[in-house]
Amino acid sequence: MVKAYSQEHTYKHPWERVTSASWRKFADPENKHTLSHILQVDTLNHELDSDSGKLYTTRAITIHAPGPWFLRKIVGQDICHCVESTVVDAKTRSMQLATMNISLQKYVEVEEKIRYDPHPDNPNGWTICRQETSIRIKPLSKLASMAEKIEQKCVEKFQQNSAKGREVMERMCKYLEAESSSRARGISV
């Protein structure tokens, strides 16, 4: 059984600011408390394709993912390692992220896709974020009702973390907006 959900959010900030915030959200010390489930982020690879102008990046993300006590007892850990692949196309103003877990795969598969594009109603001022997440608990598939409950709890946790992520993105966008305004006036932030 797979639990899947999608969310859409409009940032009332231009695409360039939102994508800058996306890159910086994990590194900003003020976000450590809100994103306390993110333990470490390391860039593994980045490449700029000179022909297409696209930026390709791969990052390793380590997450504290506590589940129900009985699930932790079965799995034996509450740390999950993920890989995030990002493609940024500045020409079309599109940023696409795909993240999936590489540890705990024999127990759970999680895949998250996020896309940032200019909002069709205000392409120079707003950005639309579309997020799709799928979660599949594997060893319990024969016990469908239990697997379904665990998947639902995972979805709820992912949705809570998504809300935290949007909060951080909004804060980063406002910071970048203030930074940009200050630079335009010749003031250092």
Tell me the three state secondary structure of residue 162. helix
pLDDT for residue 146? 67
- CB environment 37-71: b (16+ within 10 A), e (fewer): ebeebeeeeeeeeeeeebeebebebbbebebeeeb
pLDDT along the chain (189 residues), means of 10: 88 97 90 89 96 97 78 76 97 97 88 97 98 83 65 81 89 89 70
Alpha carbon distances (Å) from 110 to 2, 28, 118, 129: 10, 25, 27, 19
pLDDT for residue 182? 77
Does the predicted model carry a pTM greater than 0.85? Answer: no
CA distance 135 to 113: 12
CA distance 73 to 67: 10
Residue 127 contacts residue 11 (beta carbons within 8 Å): yes
Question: For residue 24, with 0-12 CB atoms within 10 Å meaning exposed, 13-18 middle and 19 or more buried, which class applies?
Answer: middle
Looking at residue 37, what DSSP letter applies?
A: T
Distance of CA 85 to the CA centre of its chain: 11
pLDDT for residue 102? 95
pLDDT for residue 145? 66
pLDDT for residue 144? 63
